A and B are shown apart, each in its own frame.
Chain A
Amino acid sequence: MSDQVNDPVLCPVCGKKAKTGSAIDCARHIFGTGDKPHRDWVNAQGLSFIDLLIEQATTPGNKSYQILAEVIEKARAKK
């Protein structure tokens, strides 16, 4: 857990650096926070926050976090 990412991903909503600063940690942070601004941001990327959440909860694995992490990376690249 100590391996911090060199160029950390900051939360596109609140600017927080989550844990190691990786995109997947950022995705977890967004799900974990889950307030309206965070939900809205996810929905604005063409995803459904709530569907991702339920998917994550009802199927084994970590698919939703990975999907969101990819989207975060993409959004970051756009900037």
Chain B
Amino acid sequence: MNKYTVINPHEPFRVINTHVRNIDGIAKVTGRAVYTFDVKLPGMLYGKILRSPHPHAKILKIDYSKALEIPGVMGVVTGKEDTLGVKQGIWRRYKDLCDEQILPVDKVRYIGEPVVAVAAITEEIAEKALDYIDVEYEVLPAVFEPMDAIKKDAPEIHEGFERNINVTRHIEWGDVEEAFEEADYIREDWFKCGGQAHMCMETRCAVSSYTPDGKLTIYHSNQSPYYMQALMAGVLGMREGDIRIISTYVGGGFGGKFELDGAIFCSAVLSIKLKRPVKIVYTREEDFIATKRRTPMYYYTRTGVKKDGTFCAREAKVFTNGGAYTGMGATALYLTGFFHSFPYKWKAYRYDGYRVYTNTLPSTSMRGFGAPQAMWCSEQQIEWIAADLGLDPIEMRRKNAHEEGTIIPGQATIASCGIQQCFDEIKKWIDSKGQLPPNRAIGISACGFMSGGIFNWFDTPYSFSSAVVTVNQDGTVELNVGAQEIGQGSNTTLAIICAETLGVKVEDVKVHSGDTDFNPADLGAWGSRQTLMAGNAVKMAAEDAKRQILEFAYAQSGLNIVYDLDIKDRWVHAIARPERGEDFVKVVRRAIRGKDGQRIVGRGYYTPHRKGMISPAYSYMLQAVEIEVDEETGKIRLCDSLTAHDCGQPINHLGLIGQLEGAFSMAAGYGYLEYMPFEDGKLMNPNLVDYKVIRATEMPPANIAEVDTYEPEGPYGAKEAGEGLTNPTAAAIGNALFRLFGIQIKECPIRAEMILKALKEKREKEQQGK
């Protein structure tokens, strides 16, 4: 069904890029894995949250006395009475952008915002208690769209933010005006990009347990235990070290689980008040209306090219619907502007991004982090420009594409780039398809993505990633990382890097993650950072441990100093004479004795330095999607696809395939299924009947051509995979529609009605032309 091809493969490794089963696999396929959703502690209470029915209102009075009378209700908390009222946000470095009280004190800003939390002995009683809480509101005028929210007379959502402009971002290089002058052809378009729900299978949930010694333990489904620890310390006025976050198994994240949510905050506040464990699990509806979403955007983009297809200049202006709070939206605003230039060389480029507050649920990061929107607009416009100029769209892209050594002024230098070969593969595939049936067409789209962010808006004093490798006397290895496993396979990837480096087998390595008490701080799983950053830290830690072991081996071996030792497959040996060696375990035992009984401990850490503004490395990809369209109803069906992909050196073979296929399914959903309609600030499809997630019957083959490059900054040459591939698909579907019918759809997700409308307009235009 799926074809997997490798272009220019590297030298084989012992562990890296071999078929390794996910190390969490047995737990997951047997039902043994305990998610936060499954946690039950002695004496545990259940919490429920009363939410705002209004998009914008002042909280005047909260009366929960009747709720407290219900047998089984143990306590109630409100923002005013039970919290410090700390305004928090993940952009900790910038006070202005810390704008969210999880339980607001005075004012609610979107429908579904938490207002009161209740704990009771059963979930049912807690839910019932919500009906007995009276909240008096003064309803304020509300605004839902960014273009309305920036108007002079729009309601003010946050004090001091004129015209509701929350964040602005500007990127510019070269002389834009001059570069446009050089262009023979300039095209401008306005686009609209929808939101998207993360829709993790495990909804937001937390179990908090505060004990009289002043310590707080929280089981929480998240992407970054360290962030949770630090943010919770901030809002609760506690020390980070007194808070322990445990996130062993996490049922999906996709960018939606590394900010504070109502579940963790309210359960903690309730637990502190009641001194008992409190569990809060969001319903699916709560998970839709009261978490965050992919940022909807309005995109204006103007592009100038020469007759021969050489790109000259591009200018983009973007308004994003930020919703009620900042969250990670500020980063998405920057990254969308940066990736809107990808993966092409522009003589001059200018981007102005404006994140606008509205009275809708907050927008934030989601897999692709602003880039899917950027590519939706960029890759379609480029396709249209090629058509306008009568140029081959693949060749025009190829001509302008990044290459090794490309400098993006002031932003980045590209150290590895395999996109040229991606073009070859896609071209071959399209050619091999031959003539398609009349209702089918193939669309393509290119993009690139980062391998972890360089920015430190979180203001962490720690290294971005850290790892500790401990070698036991029997040759087993403990790998402690702060990196977070959320299903993407990071524990396995890191175990592979550790085993390869140390020269042991992957089953020798036990990975400890998802617990802040026992693992070093790490920024966690977001922005495609773990393979490169945590991978580098693990590699360094394993090298450190290995060096210590080899020092003993050298001391014992009596070998000529010109010989080098190495360890492979648990065999410590001279590289030049591999048969001369000794069993790893024996060497380790002696080495431990030599350290007066101390286990071998290696440490590693990684923080990017001198790698530009955005990321230490960039992946590249080109995707072709074949679609079939019912011209009479507008229904789209995906038929086939090929992704040509450069992630440097693949580390975790199965994990890579899974990430690429999975990203494609989510990206396809963004392209044509996952619309989020609002009416007066209310999400109209907050359930899985009305919110359409791609299913097995909709998923086409996801063929992969892996173009292996070597990324000097990555561990063993590795870089990002799995997030970036969320970027091209929507545009590829749009481009297929353009190929098929010559229609230009400027709004995503693409709906059947839009296609019919565009076809009708096209026919009318043609008739007028006659």
Contact = CB atoms under 8 A, between A and B. Distances in A.
Contacts, number: 45
B352 interface: yes
A34 B319 CA distance: 16
B332 to A, nearest CB: 16
B489 to A, nearest CB: 38
Nearest to B96: A35
A28 B172 contact: yes
A62 B177 contact: yes
B170 A28 contact: yes
B172 A39 contact: no
Contacts of B545: none
Give the interface size bracket for B toward A.
20 to 34
Interface string B148-187: 0010000000001011010111101100110000000000
A28 B169 CA distance: 9
A60 B162 contact: no
B352 A36 contact: no
A67 to B, nearest CB: 14
A32 to B, nearest CB: 5
A57 B319 contact: yes
B170 A50 contact: no
B315 interface: yes
B675 interface: no
B564 interface: no
Contact of A60 (B150, B315, B354, B410): B315
A77 interface: no
A58 interface: yes
A36 B168 contact: no
A23 B354 CA distance: 22
B390 interface: no
B345 to A, nearest CB: 15
Interface residues of A, number: 19
Interface string A48-79: 01100110111011100000000000000000
Interface string A31-46: 1101110010000000
B317 A58 contact: yes
A51 to B, nearest CB: 9
A43 B160 CA distance: 14
A31 B313 CA distance: 22
Nearest to B186: A60
Given A31-B168, A34-B168, A57 B173 contact: no
B353 to A, nearest CB: 9
Q: Is the interface of B mostly helix, strand, loop or mixed?
A: strand
Contacts of A57: 317, 319, 352, 354
Contact of B354 (A1, A28, A53, A61): A53
B409 A1 contact: yes
A49 B162 CA distance: 10
B165 A60 contact: no
B302 interface: yes
The winner among B163, B173, B352 for most chain A CB atoms within 10 A is B352
A39 B168 CA distance: 13
B350 A62 contact: yes
B302 A60 contact: yes
B507 interface: no
A28 B172 CA distance: 9
A53 B163 CA distance: 10
Given A1-B409, A35-B96, A39-B162, A54 B150 contact: yes
Given A35-B96, A60-B188, A53 B169 contact: no
B355 to A, nearest CB: 11
A34 B165 CA distance: 10
Given A35-B96, A58-B317, 17 more contacts: A1-B410, A19-B410, A28-B170, A32-B169, A34-B165, A50-B162, A50-B163, A53-B163, A56-B317, A56-B352, A57-B319, A57-B352, A57-B354, A60-B302, A62-B176, A62-B177, A62-B350
Interface of B: 96, 150, 160, 162-163, 165, 167-170, 172-173, 176-177, 188, 300, 302, 315, 317, 319, 350, 352, 354, 409-410
Interface of A: 1, 19, 28, 31-32, 34-36, 39, 49-50, 53-54, 56-58, 60-62
28 contacts: A1-B409, A1-B410, A19-B410, A28-B170, A31-B168, A32-B169, A32-B170, A34-B165, A34-B167, A34-B168, A36-B160, A39-B162, A49-B162, A50-B163, A50-B165, A53-B165, A53-B168, A53-B354, A54-B150, A56-B317, A57-B352, A57-B354, A58-B300, A58-B317, A60-B188, A60-B315, A61-B177, A62-B176
